[in-house]
């Protein structure tokens, strides 16, 4: 049987691993963090783009359109939150109308369906809280929102169920080839060997590629800062509201999330440090001021958290997908926006391509269906009662703001590719994601983690090795 190593457990690595797990091969994902979905995947806008913004005849345009169309079925099959809520690109100046027309035409060229240019009256009817300065907008019916980290986790769980192995805390330090066999060495000392190495290392994809290939690539870390509002502000937008895009990206958006919060952002600043996830005073001010231009009644007092993510911007401007100049080393790099939208289609393409190169056969027993953690908060009372009868831990609410029960938290730890730390539980269950931001449930979640993992309370981490939450017991 052939061996395939996937470097990186973000949305790209997880979706590629899952699509590869349809074939008879041994697949290993190496991820430097404690969990999947810890890099760009956990900190982005979570938009399933319609595809009017990508330059025609690029990989971005192609996979955007293909990926977008896959979401309805995929979200059902893998059970992750997705809503096709539509999007508006607001126009504030009559002189910008030609640019709105350009976007419209570009969308047509790319094959986007359901585009429409709206008058301001039509805009207000759809979104009563947008600024009265709006003069018109482009409406994209097929735009959607997704919970990106839950999507990646769903992919990972399904890959694992189909035999894919996930190894965490594995930072790749060297990759060598000898007689058609690749050896990948991790900082922790382990070596893995494979017939094919797939580089899905996100912002570090250039480092990985440049160790191996003659053709160098350059990934520039581009930081985006965000603000997340309390669910009580959820009424302010039902569609994703963009402003006119610029060459640095799609600008500051205001969008509902799949869980009913409002997200605003991102900024777009090229930075030197790929690990620097600091938010900045200037960045947050910019997000706030520009978001007010779209929706003036956003009130900073209702922000519950801010965060930033690093996009993997390829200086070439397009996705880099395919076998490199070294046989058996495959790049899936530079997957910035619309990367999340494109990921499902990219993964299918990559898996088929690799299967062809390695002569892989499809598995007969591949199971495409993954069932997520039952979310008590959004269940009917009758289902809640049934669930508690089956398992009394669903009767114990741990996170009051998001109404997350102990049953869900235990499930999140014990399922395939389960949570190993506080943030892992948070991404899977939403415990700590609500308006008190874990003030009340932090220590309860830590206790459950310690119990289920069989470790000391004091050694439970937030998200990274050594990132101890509490510290020592009081002397």
Partner 1 sequence: MIDKNLVIIGGGPAGLAAAKSAYDSGERDIVILERESVLGGILNQCIHNGFGLHTFKEELTGPEYAARYVEQVEERKIEYKLETTVLGVNADKVVTAVNETDGLVKYRAKAVILACGCRERPRGGINVAGSRCAGIFSAGTAQKLINIDGYMPGKEIVILGSGDIGLIMARRMTFEGAKVKAVVELMPYSSGLNRNIVQCIKDFDIPLLFSHTVVDIRGEGRVSGVVIAAVDDKLQPIMSTAQEITCDTILLSIGLLPENELAKSATVKLSPITGGATVDENMMTSVDGIFECGNVLHVHDLVDFVSKESEEAGRSAARYIKENRADRDYVEAVGCEGVRYVVPQYVSKNTQSEQIQLKMRVSNVFKNVRLVGLIDGKEIFSKKKQIVTPGEMETVTLNKAQIDEIRKGKRLEVTLKGE
Q: 3-class DSSP state for residue 422? A: helix
**Of 129 and 302, which CB lies nearer to partner 1 in the complex structure?**
302
Strands 87-91 and 240-243: parallel
Catalytic annotation, pick one of 49, 259, 313, 463: 49
- Window contacting partner 1 (CB under 8 A); options: 55-63, 108-116, 337-345, 429-437: 429-437
User: Contact letters (x/-) for partner 1, 120-139, by CB under 8 A?
Assistant: --------------------
Contact 264, 303 (CB under 8 A): no
**Which position among 435, 450, 452, 453 is part of the footprint of partner 1 (CB under 8 A)?**
435
Judged by CB under 8 A, does residue 271 bind partner 1? Answer: no
Judged by CB under 8 A, does residue 169 bind partner 1? Answer: no
**Which position among 218, 278, 361, 451 is part of the footprint of partner 1 (CB under 8 A)?**
278
Give me 281's structure tokens. Answer: 């005073």
Judged by CB under 8 A, does residue 292 bind partner 1? Answer: no
Judged by CB under 8 A, does residue 290 bind partner 1? Answer: no
**Which position among 124, 129, 307, 366 is part of the footprint of partner 1 (CB under 8 A)?**
307
Judged by CB under 8 A, does residue 388 bind partner 1? Answer: yes
| 463 catalytic residue (yes or no) | no
- Main-chain dihedrals φ then ψ at residue 265, nearest 5 degrees: 135, -170
In the bound complex, what is the minimum distance in angstroms from residue 248's beta carbon to partner 1? 20
Judged by CB under 8 A, does residue 57 bind partner 1? Answer: no
In the bound complex, what is the minimum distance in angstroms from residue 65's beta carbon to partner 1? 35
**Of 129 and 307, which CB lies nearer to partner 1 in the complex structure?**
307
| Beta strand spans in 284-419 (E) | 303-314, 320-323, 329-333, 397-399, 404-405
Judged by CB under 8 A, does residue 404 bind partner 1? Answer: no
DSSP character for 71?
Answer: H
Judged by CB under 8 A, does residue 38 bind partner 1? Answer: no
**Of 181 and 451, which CB lies nearer to partner 1 in the complex structure?**
451
CA distances to 20, 81, 192 from 177, in Å: 22, 41, 12
Phi-psi region of 51 (alpha: psi -120 to 50; beta: other; left: phi over 0): left
Angle at 80 between CA 77 and CA 85, to 5 degrees: 105
| Whole-angstrom Cα Rg for the chain | 22
**Of 23 and 394, which CB lies nearer to partner 1 in the complex structure?**
394
**Of 271 and 304, which CB lies nearer to partner 1 in the complex structure?**
304
**Which position among 283, 309, 339, 344 is part of the footprint of partner 1 (CB under 8 A)?**
283
Please list every residue from 197 through 256 that binds partner 1, using CB under 8 A: 227-228
Of the candidates 151, 192, 217, the residue with the CA atom closest to the CA atom of residue 13? 151
- Main-chain dihedrals φ then ψ at residue 236, nearest 5 degrees: -70, -20
Judged by CB under 8 A, does residue 303 bind partner 1? Answer: yes
Judged by CB under 8 A, does residue 471 bind partner 1? Answer: yes
Of the candidates 299, 273, 278, the residue with the CA atom closest to the CA atom of residue 288? 299
Return the half-sphere exposure (C-beta side, CA atoms, 13 A cut-off) of residue 61.
15
CA distances to 36, 37, 46, 404, 414 from 76, in Å: 21, 20, 17, 22, 22
Sites of contact with partner 1 (CB under 8 A): 227-228, 275, 277-281, 283-284, 288, 300-307, 381, 384-385, 388-389, 392-393, 395-397, 400, 403, 435-440, 442-443, 457-458, 461-462, 464, 466-475
Q: Point out the residues that are catalytic.
A: 49
């Amino acid at each position: 049987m052939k061996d395939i190593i996937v470097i990186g457990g973000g949305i790209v690595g997880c979706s590629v691993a899952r699509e590869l797990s349809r074939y008879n091969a041994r697949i290993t994902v190496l991820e430097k963090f404690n969990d999947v979905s810890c890099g760009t995947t956990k900190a982005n806008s979570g938009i399933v783009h319609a595809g009017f913004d990508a330059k025609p005849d690029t990989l971005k345009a192609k996979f955007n359109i293909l990926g977008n169309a896959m979401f309805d079925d995929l979200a059902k099959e893998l059970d992750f939150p997705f809503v096709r809520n539509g999007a508006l690109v607001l126009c504030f100046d009559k002189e910008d109308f030609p640019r709105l027309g350009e976007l419209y035409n570009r969308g047509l060229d790319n094959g986007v369906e359901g585009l429409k240019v709206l008058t301001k009256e039509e805009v207000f009817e759809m979104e009563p809280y947008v600024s009265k300065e709006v003069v018109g907008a482009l409406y994209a019916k097929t735009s959607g929102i997704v919970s990106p980290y839950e999507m990646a986790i769903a992919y990972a769980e399904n890959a694992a169920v189909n035999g894919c192995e996930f190894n965490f805390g594995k930072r790749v330090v060297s990759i060598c080839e000898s007689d058609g066999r690749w050896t990948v060495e991790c900082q922790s000392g382990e070596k893995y060997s494979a017939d094919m190495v797939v580089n899905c290392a996100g912002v570090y994809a250039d480092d990985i590629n440049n160790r191996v290939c003659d053709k160098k690539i350059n990934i520039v870390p581009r930081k985006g800062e965000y603000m997340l509002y309390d669910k009580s502000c959820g009424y302010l937008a039902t569609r994703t509201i963009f402003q006119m895009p610029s060459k640095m990206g799609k600008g500051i958006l205001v969008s509902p999330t799949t869980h009913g919060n409002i997200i605003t952002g991102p900024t777009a600043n090229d930075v030197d440090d790929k690990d620097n996830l600091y938010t900045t005073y200037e960045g947050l001010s910019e997000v706030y001021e520009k978001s007010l231009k779209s929706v003036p009644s956003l009130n900073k007092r209702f922000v519950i958290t801010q965060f930033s993510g690093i996009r993997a911007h390829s200086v070439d401007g397009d996705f880099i997908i395919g076998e490199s100049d070294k046989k058996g080393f495959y790049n899936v790099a530079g997957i910035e926006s619309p990367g999340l939208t494109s990921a499902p289609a990219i993964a299918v393409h990559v898996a088929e391509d690799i299967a062809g190169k390695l002569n892989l056969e499809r598995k007969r027993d591949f199971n495409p269906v993954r069932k997520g953690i039952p979310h008590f908060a959004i269940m009917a009372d009758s289902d809640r009662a049934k669930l508690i009868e089956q398992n009394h831990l669903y009767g114990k609410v741990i996170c009051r703001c998001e109404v997350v029960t102990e049953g869900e938290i235990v499930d999140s730890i014990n399922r395939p590719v389960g949570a190993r730390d506080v943030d892992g539980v948070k991404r899977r269950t939403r415990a700590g994601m609500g308006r008190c931001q874990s003030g009340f449930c932090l220590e309860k979640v830590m206790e459950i983690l310690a119990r289920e993992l069989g470790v000391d309370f004091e050694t439970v981490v937030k998200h990274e090795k050594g990132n101890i939450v509490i510290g020592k017991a009081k002397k």
